[in-house]
Amino acid sequence: MALRGEPTGVATCWNADVVATAKRDLKPGDMLDGEGGYTVWGKLLPADTSRQMGGLPLGLAHQVKVVRAVKKGQSLSWADVAMDISTPGVQGAP
């Protein structure tokens, strides 16, 4: 891209999603600390599965408050957290 001044690739479809998954039991009031932290890890799920469950993308799981209990190993959904949906990074997300 830098040498030729043109795009070299583009996503043509949504095949999968990396969904935030609890590293330990989480309780309401806990704050997620995102990638590389102590609260969540990323689990690759088919796009249809992520969409059906309302999977919370790992990239958005930083400084987000948990609002309902999540068991260790369970993937988080948007309903499990209090997300500020007015921020530019969240615009257009499910």
| pTM, 2 dp | 0.81
* Residue 11 in this model has a pLDDT that exceeds 80: no
- Max CA distance (Å), the chain: 50
- Minimal CA–CA distance to 62: which of 35, 28, 25? 35
Residues composing the chain: 94
Least confident stretch, 44-53, 61-70, 83-92: 83-92
pLDDT in tens, 12-31: 888 999 999 999 999 999 99
Stretch 49-57: mean pLDDT, rounded? 96
Least confident stretch, 2-6, 66-70, 73-77, 88-92: 88-92
Domain extent listing, the chain: 16-82
User: Does domain 16-82 bear CATH number 3.90.1210.10?
Assistant: yes
Q: What 8-state DSSP symbol labels residue 26? A: B
